[in-house]
Chain A
Amino acid sequence: MKPQAAARPVSPVRERRLGAFVFLAPGLVYLVVLMLVPLALVLSNVFFQRGRFGGLVYEFTTENFTRLIDPLYLGVVGDSLKIAAVTTLIALLLGYPTAYLIAQLPPKWKTIALVAIVLPFWTNFIIRVYAWIILLNGQGLINSGLKVFGLDPLELLYTDGAVVTGLLYSYLPLMVLPLYAAIDKLDPQLREASANLGASPLTTFRKVTLPLTVPGVLTGSLFVFVPSFGNFVIPEMLGGGKSIMVGNLIRTEFLKARDWPFGSALATALVVVLVLLLIAQARAARRA
Chain B
Amino acid sequence: MRRSRLLHVPFWFTYFFLYAPIVVLVMMSFNSGKSAYTYEGFSLKWYGVLAQDKKVMEGLVNTLVVAVGSTVIATVLGTLLAVGLARYTRSKTLDAFALMPAVLPDLVLAIGLLVFYGLVQFTLGLYSVILAHGVFAMAFVAAVVRTRLAGADTSLEEASRDLGAGPVTTFVKVTLPQLAPGIVAGALLAFTLSLDEFVIAFFTIGNLEQTLPIVIYSMIRFGVTPEINALGTILLLVSFTAVIVGQRLTKIGESRAQD
Question: Using a CB–CB distance below 8 Å, which chain A residues touch chain B?
Answer: 3, 5-6, 15-16, 19-20, 22-24, 26-28, 30-31, 34-35, 37-39, 41-42, 45, 55, 93-95, 97-98, 100-102, 115-120, 122-128, 130-135, 137, 139-141, 144, 168-169, 172-173, 176, 201-202, 226-227, 229-230, 232-233, 237, 247, 250-251, 254-255, 260, 263-264, 267, 270-271, 274
> Does any Cβ of A come within 8 Å of B38's Cβ?
yes
State A151–B9 Cα separation when bound (angstroms).
26
Q: For A270, list chain B residues within 8 Å (CB).
A: 105, 107-108
> Does any Cβ of A come within 8 Å of B208's Cβ?
no
Q: Which of B18, B112, B167, B198 contacts A126 (CB 8 A)?
A: B198
> Does any Cβ of A come within 8 Å of B239's Cβ?
yes
Q: Which of A132, A137, A173 contacts B37 (CB 8 A)?
A: A137
Please name the residue on chain B nearest to A43 by beta carbon: B112
Q: Name 19 extra pairs, CB < 8 A, besides A19-B88, A131-B25.
A: A23-B83, A23-B84, A24-B85, A27-B78, A31-B98, A31-B135, A38-B116, A42-B115, A98-B11, A101-B4, A118-B243, A123-B236, A127-B25, A131-B232, A139-B37, A230-B108, A233-B217, A250-B111, A270-B107
Q: For A119, list chain B residues within 8 Å (CB).
A: 240, 243
Q: For A94, list chain B residues within 8 Å (CB).
A: 10, 13-14, 17
State A117–B11 Cα separation when bound (angstroms).
11
Q: Which of B81, B167, B192, B228 contacts A28 (CB 8 A)?
A: B81
State A138–B7 Cα separation when bound (angstroms).
33
A136 to chain B, nearest CB (A): 10
State A89–B94 Cα separation when bound (angstroms).
33
Please name the residue on chain A nearest to B37 by beta carbon: A139
State A118–B14 Cα separation when bound (angstroms).
12
Residues 177 to 215 of chain B near chain A (Cβ within 8 Å): 192, 195-196, 198-199, 203, 213
Whether A130 and B7, one on each chain, are in contact in the complex, defined by CB atoms closer than 8 angstroms, is no
B209 to chain A, nearest CB (A): 16
> Does any Cβ of A come within 8 Å of B152's Cβ?
no
Whether B239 and A19, one on each chain, are in contact in the complex, defined by CB atoms closer than 8 angstroms, is no
Residues 210 to 259 of chain B near chain A (Cβ within 8 Å): 213, 216-217, 220, 224, 228-229, 231-232, 235-236, 239-240, 242-244, 247
Task: Knowing A27-B77, A34-B134, A232-B199, say if A169 contacts B21 (CB, 8 Å).
Answer: yes
Whether A134 and B224, one on each chain, are in contact in the complex, defined by CB atoms closer than 8 angstroms, is yes
Whether B108 and A271, one on each chain, are in contact in the complex, defined by CB atoms closer than 8 angstroms, is yes
Q: For B176, list chain A residues within 8 Å (CB).
A: none
> Does any Cβ of A come within 8 Å of B113's Cβ?
yes
> Does any Cβ of A come within 8 Å of B132's Cβ?
yes
Q: Which of B37, B109, B216 contacts A127 (CB 8 A)?
A: B216
A103 to chain B, nearest CB (A): 11
Q: Which of A134, A168, A201, A233 contacts B199 (CB 8 A)?
A: A233
How many A-B pairs with Cβ below 8 Å?
240
Please name the residue on chain A nearest to B76 by beta carbon: A26
State A201–B14 Cα separation when bound (angstroms).
23
Task: Knowing A16-B88, A144-B38, say if A267 contacts B107 (CB, 8 Å).
Answer: yes
Q: On chain B, which size bracket covers the interface? A: 35 or more
State A148–B14 Cα separation when bound (angstroms).
25
Secondary structure of the A contact surface, majority rule:
helix
Q: For A201, list chain B residues within 8 Å (CB).
A: 3
Please name the residue on chain A nearest to B192 by beta carbon: A122
Question: Using a CB–CB distance below 8 Å, which chain B residues touch chain A?
Answer: 3-4, 7-11, 13-15, 17-22, 24-25, 28, 35-38, 73, 76-78, 80-81, 83-85, 87-89, 94, 97-98, 100-101, 103-109, 111-116, 118-119, 131-132, 134-135, 138, 142, 164, 166-168, 192, 195-196, 198-199, 203, 213, 216-217, 220, 224, 228-229, 231-232, 235-236, 239-240, 242-244, 247
**Interface CB pairs A-B, < 8 A, 23:** A26-B81, A30-B73, A31-B138, A34-B113, A34-B116, A35-B109, A94-B17, A98-B14, A101-B7, A115-B244, A117-B14, A122-B192, A122-B242, A123-B196, A123-B239, A124-B239, A130-B220, A134-B28, A134-B229, A135-B20, A137-B224, A140-B37, A229-B105
State A15–B157 Cα separation when bound (angstroms).
15
State A101–B13 Cα separation when bound (angstroms).
13
Whether B80 and A35, one on each chain, are in contact in the complex, defined by CB atoms closer than 8 angstroms, is no
Closest 8 CB pairs of A and B: A38-B112, A23-B84, A27-B81, A131-B21, A24-B84, A20-B88, A230-B105, A127-B232
Q: For A20, list chain B residues within 8 Å (CB).
A: 84, 88-89
State A233–B21 Cα separation when bound (angstroms).
18
Task: Knowing A270-B108, A271-B105, A274-B105, say if A100 contacts B198 (CB, 8 Å).
Answer: no
Whether B101 and A31, one on each chain, are in contact in the complex, defined by CB atoms closer than 8 angstroms, is yes
